[in-house]
Chain A
Amino acid sequence: MIILQILLNGILLGGFYALIGVGFSLVWGVTNIINLAHGAIALLGAYITLFLFQHYGFDPFLSLPFSFIPLFIFGYILQRFLLNLVVKAQIFMLLILTFGIEIFLVNFMTTFFSADFRSVTPDYAGESLIVGNIVIPYIRLGVFAICVLITLLLSLFLNKTWTGKAIKATSLDIDAAMMVGINPAKIFAITFAIASGLAGVAGSLFSLTQAFSPSVAGALTLRAFIVSILGGLGRVEGALLGGIILGIVETLSSYIIGESYKNAITLAIMVLVLVIKPTGILGKKYFAEVKH
């Protein structure tokens, strides 16, 4: 019975990992930027939710647009006026730049919100759906549902809208995309904006289930990284699958081997995937292709 509960926990956690991973994966797949600031951007969302909740009693679920929109704009500006300048540079330069942004954001948050661990606890926190011996906290269920919904919406957006198709086209062949009138700089900026906005939403949801401080930014980025590797770059369905696999692997290994070894096991799985199928479980070749 306990194993069922743990599997369920893993799946619910996986929904969150999918959401934090999908933006990271999209940016990596389309612009070839490994955004080390992704976790820090997500935390900005968490602090927006905390701020609205503490000062205005805002329901955390209703605050999602308030973390999506500002971070969407933030992401757009960041890519358009900073990252685009060096997007053609070597990968090393991009890593240093995004790492620098991460350090800046973490320090910014530490200054404004202190290094204390926070959590957002609305009145209904702790209420759970109980089926036999299985306990499903409503918040985790809600977070999972929203994560899956947003991931599917993103998939629809990429496949059905002009902008979405343009993003996919740019990731496939940047020169051909330019030939049909797509401005890659703009597409890069929109991609980064979407990824940042989604990270913000993920962060808001994170604040509901776990305690957070600016120091957990790195751990979030690492999860996003693993999800992308597992699922395959730039693939929405991949992120969903990768997230759920990561969630299950984490909770199962924590149960069977011990919480202290969880991270080691997770990283071992990632290495395994890289060795056996470097493009990720659902990855197709072109999405991970190096474009310069």
Chain B
Amino acid sequence: MKRAGLMILVLSLIFLFVAQAFSADVIRFGAALSLTGKLAKEGNLVKNGYELWKETVNKKGGIRVGNKYYKVDIKYYDDESDPNRAAKLVEKLITEDGIKLILGPYGSESVFSTSAITEKYGALMVQGGAAADKLYTRGFKNLFGIYTVATEYMDDTLKMLRNKTPKPNTVAIVYSNDLFSTQVAQGAYASAQKYGYKVVYYKDYPKGTQDLSTVIVEIKAKNPDILIGCGHFQDTVVIVKQSKDYKLNPKAIAFSVGPTLPDFITALKGDAEYIFGSAQWTPTLKYKDPVFGSNANFVKAFKAKFGVEPNYHAAGGAAAAVIFQRAIEKAGSFTDINRIRQALASFNEETLFGKIRFDATGKVVGKGMPVIQILRGQQKTVYPEAAAEAKPVYPKPAWR
């Protein structure tokens, strides 16, 4: 028994030395992700983004710091889609595993909880998986996020529509009364005013509602040119179906969430046609990228590795990692958190996710939201013009 104990001690000591010697040429990142649980789908997509980045970087020799190349290693934990657990795991990454470079989890709640931990321990987080404005109102210095925030979700859609003929003048905004959707709606209201629209309807409905016929009838009485829905997937289905029932025929219908999901077309079939949606990212954007070469190359590499086209979750993960890497290279250190933070604060580069700059709070600015439209049963990027696959159809034909 004693001998066995001794053996284990010796072995673990050897392992410790080997690991240390090995780790000298490796930069270790850490991530607590939803690999199981209700956000498992999104969490695994983000992980795929990280993995593809890691593989691509390592194939090229690694991250260049000074004159030396370091291989990338990522330590993952499964937070089981629980923000509290995610926070504990990030604490474990920092305090037990000694990792101070944290790649973000998926979902606003998890980013909210884990970024408080990275802030507390002076670790650094770059995240491509959460869009709540409240993440950036806490005075944190060590959190950088690349998702366009909720209040800016509908801005590009309203900007795109303002020059169309016949010119739209009135907007109706209807939103689910949860935090995210409320912020999206507030932002849409501000954007509508900025672009000179008149907001003729602005009301919320309870989260998870099944019947919005009264709301639709009310909106119809206001006869808006544009209908903006800020809610979740199921709400968009209800709004589309009941708009058709009650012959609510605005010149454009746009949703913050919904049309970007493949299920939107499956659920609504022909009725999904001509509806606009906001996307964080689309595969057709024509951006350059320091690691993958271009957005198109990223899409190709992702398809080759995972067999499916990437969506914005995977792209967000990969882009966050790319930005982290570029900041480390610019800082010339992967241990001096302060210098990497400064490199992020002054970051201004084109990546697969867009031209990325951060404001003083760490949130991305000026990235914009590409606009998609459902055309012949497919999501097509219609804005910005540089990335457009098709011309937006406006005004929307009346319901058949």
Contacts and interface: CB of A to CB of B under 8 A. Distances in A.
Contact of B234 (A211, A258, A263): A211
**Max chain B CB contacts within 10 Å: which of A119, A209, A211?**
A211
Given A118-B267, A137-B245, A2 B206 contact: no
B233 A117 contact: yes
Given A119-B237, A262-B206, A126 B215 contact: no
A130 interface: yes
A212 B215 contact: no
B214 interface: yes
Contact of B245 (A118, A128, A250): A128
B339 interface: no
Instruction: Please classify how large the interface on chain A is, using the bins under 10, 10 to 19, 20 to 34, 35 or more.
Output: 35 or more
A55 to B, nearest CB: 15
B234 A9 contact: no
B205 A260 contact: yes
A260 B177 contact: yes
A259 to B, nearest CB: 4
Contact of B213 (A2, A118, A251, A260): A251
Interface in A212-228: 212-213, 215-216, 219
A255 interface: yes
B271 A121 contact: yes
B165 interface: no
Interface string A248-265: 001100110011101100
A135 B246 contact: yes
Contacts of A13: 211, 213
A118 B211 CA distance: 13
B247 A6 contact: no
Contacts of B164: none
A235 interface: no
A5 interface: yes
Nearest to A12: B213
Contacts of B215: 254, 259
Interface size class of B (residues with CB under 8 A): 20 to 34
A117 B213 contact: no
Contacts of B244: 125-126
A140 interface: yes
B218 A2 contact: yes
A119 B214 contact: no
Nearest to A5: B217
Interface string B206-239: 1011111111011001000000000001100110
Contact of B246 (A137, A212, A259): A137
A210 B238 CA distance: 7
A237 to B, nearest CB: 25
Contact of A213 (B205, B212, B234): B234
B245 A6 contact: no
Nearest to B238: A211
A194 to B, nearest CB: 26
Nearest to B203: A258
A126 B243 CA distance: 8
B39 interface: no
B269 interface: yes
B359 interface: no
Nearest to B241: A119
B245 A139 contact: yes
A117 B214 contact: no
27 contacts: A1-B221, A2-B217, A6-B214, A13-B213, A116-B267, A117-B234, A119-B237, A119-B267, A121-B269, A125-B244, A125-B245, A126-B399, A126-B400, A128-B245, A128-B246, A128-B247, A135-B245, A139-B245, A210-B211, A210-B238, A211-B237, A254-B214, A255-B214, A259-B204, A259-B209, A259-B214, A260-B206
Interface of B: 177, 203-206, 208-215, 217-218, 221, 233-234, 237-238, 241, 244-247, 263, 267-269, 271, 399-400
